[in-house]
Amino acid sequence: MIVAEVLDASHSGLRAGADPERNPVGAAEVQRLCALVADAIGIHGGHVAVQFASADQIARLNLRYRGLDEPTDVLSFPIDGTDEVGEEATRELGDIVICPAYTDDVSEAIVHAMLHLLGMDHETDDGEMLALQRELMLRATDGATP
């Protein structure tokens, strides 16, 4: 089972439901989207942490990890990825940081970031990641669950 943990919910504006001003996606939807992506890649167990950040917070992370002194929509920090882990270990897929103020579609940002966590990279592939992202977004809007 994929477990998507939303961090710092009290500071991000995320509640059990949705907060349309800061994040139009509730915690249950974050969970569903992460599981949908992982299932499409063939990963059926693991943990992902999702944090919603301000423009200042994500700009600091973007500078530190990508050398870009500006806010961005989403950052992904893979940990175990798709590597095999021991039977008793929980696969740590990684961390996702989303800045709703710089994101047109929070759901799509979650899907995009999960694809990165699971080893895909639209900057180096031949369009496979973005094609799969489009397919998953269509499935997500149809209410598909893994």
pLDDT digits (tens, 9 = 90+) for 12-25: 444 334 444 455 57
Give domain limits for the chain.
2-141
In the predicted structure, residue 3 carries a pLDDT above the cut 80: yes
- Residues 24, 92: Cα–Cα separation, whole Å: 26
In the predicted structure, residue 104 carries a pLDDT above the cut 50: yes
- Residues 14, 83: Cα–Cα separation, whole Å: 31
In the predicted structure, residue 32 carries a pLDDT above the cut 70: yes
The CATH code of the domain at 2-141 is 3.40.390.30
Residue 125 CB contacts under 8 Å (≥ 6 apart), including other chains = none
Residue 58 to residues 31, 52, 111, 112, Cα–Cα distance (Å): 22, 9, 18, 16
In the predicted structure, residue 128 carries a pLDDT above the cut 80: yes
Predicted confidence at residue 85, as pLDDT, reads 58
Q: For 42-79, how does the pLDDT look when each residue is reduced to its tens digit (9 = 90+)? A: 888 889 999 999 999 999 999 999 999 999 999 999 98
Residue 22 CB contacts under 8 Å (≥ 6 apart), including other chains = 12, 13, 14, 52, 100
Predicted confidence at residue 34, as pLDDT, reads 94
In the predicted structure, residue 140 carries a pLDDT above the cut 70: yes
- Residues 87, 106: Cα–Cα separation, whole Å: 33
- Give the count of beta carbons closer than 10 Å to the beta carbon of residue 69: 9
Burial 109-130, CB ≥16 within 10 A → b, else e: bbbbbbbbbbebebeeeeeebe
